[in-house]
Amino acid sequence: MKPSKKSLPSKGTSRENLEPIEGLHSHPRNYREHPDDELQHIMQSIRHHGFYRPIVAARDGTILAGHGVVAAARKMNVKEVPVVRLELDPEEPRALKLLAGDNEIGHMAEIDDRMLTEILKEVKQLDVDGLLGTGFDEKMLANLVYISRPSSEIGDFNAAAEWSGMPSYEEGSPLPALIVTFKNEKDRERFVDSVKLRIDKKASRVWSTRWPFKERDRHADFKFQTT
């Protein structure tokens, strides 16, 4: 169902919480960017599920949590979104704590990558829209399969791609590649700081880089290869 140009009713949220999107504006200290490939996933989630979580804003309409959702809703021409307004000034410590905490607390969770790949594989096989709306694409899923399973179980990257249901593709010239896994987020951050490389952090689970460094526009533009 296409979103209405007037409003998109949110599932599980009363209409009393709907506010004009024009009354919301980004926090001047928001440190997260939302590239188009991420917004496409958010837009698909909105189409499927509505707004299952409200935007959180300060009293003046400054967004504290939900910048990506608002950006996606604007691209969809949605005029109203569910909002919870807090009696906070956007620059006071409690507001800044919420701005940071909403982004960062989730990184502390421990994720069962194997279970995640099983879920994503099932979604890809059964949902008509595939992985769009999950934050993953086929290549990202194949890479996660490859790094989360021992070689004795999954083999090489091509086997991981086949497991995850990726279409076959013609092999190009082999490219040298190095995959490093970590026990936790802190270890990964320390490694990144120590090697002094610019890292593409658009995907929260799988970070990547190229040398010489080149910005990545879309995950679909790249193919993971192994030697």
- Are 127 and 216 members of one domain? yes
> What's the CA gap between 95 and 98, in Å, rounded?
5
- Are 119 and 217 members of one domain? yes
Inside any domain, residue 155: yes
Domain that holds residue 188: 113-221
Max Cα-Cα span within the chain: 58
For residues 85 and 58, the answer to whether their CB atoms sit within 8 Å is yes
> What's the CA gap between 218 and 38, in Å, rounded?
9
Q: Which of 108, 133, 167 is the last residue of a domain?
A: 108
Q: Which band of pLDDT confidence, cut at 50, 70 and 90, is reported for residue 13?
A: very low
CA dihedral 86, 88, 93, 99 (to 10 degrees): 40
Q: Shortest CA distance to 162 belongs to which of 142, 147, 137?
A: 142
- Are 54 and 78 members of one domain? yes
Q: What is the CATH number of the domain that holds 51?
A: 3.90.1530.10
> What's the CA gap between 10 and 213, in Å, rounded?
41
Q: Which of 49, 75, 108 is the last residue of a domain?
A: 108
Inside any domain, residue 154: yes
Domain total of the chain: 2
- Are 56 and 100 members of one domain? yes
Q: Which band of pLDDT confidence, cut at 50, 70 and 90, is reported for residue 191?
A: confident
Inside any domain, residue 5: no
| pLDDT number for residue 203 | 52
Residue 31, classified by CB atoms within 10 Å of its CB into exposed (0-12), middle (13-18) or buried (19+), is exposed
**Considering the chain, what is the average pLDDT of its residues?**
79
Inside any domain, residue 66: yes
pLDDT tens-digit map of 54-68: 999 999 999 999 999
The answer to whether residue 99 scores a pLDDT higher than 80 is yes
> What's the CA gap between 197 and 213, in Å, rounded?
8
Inside any domain, residue 209: yes
- Are 87 and 123 members of one domain? no
Inside any domain, residue 146: yes
| pLDDT number for residue 144 | 84
The answer to whether residue 90 scores a pLDDT higher than 90 is yes
- Strand partners of residue 133: none
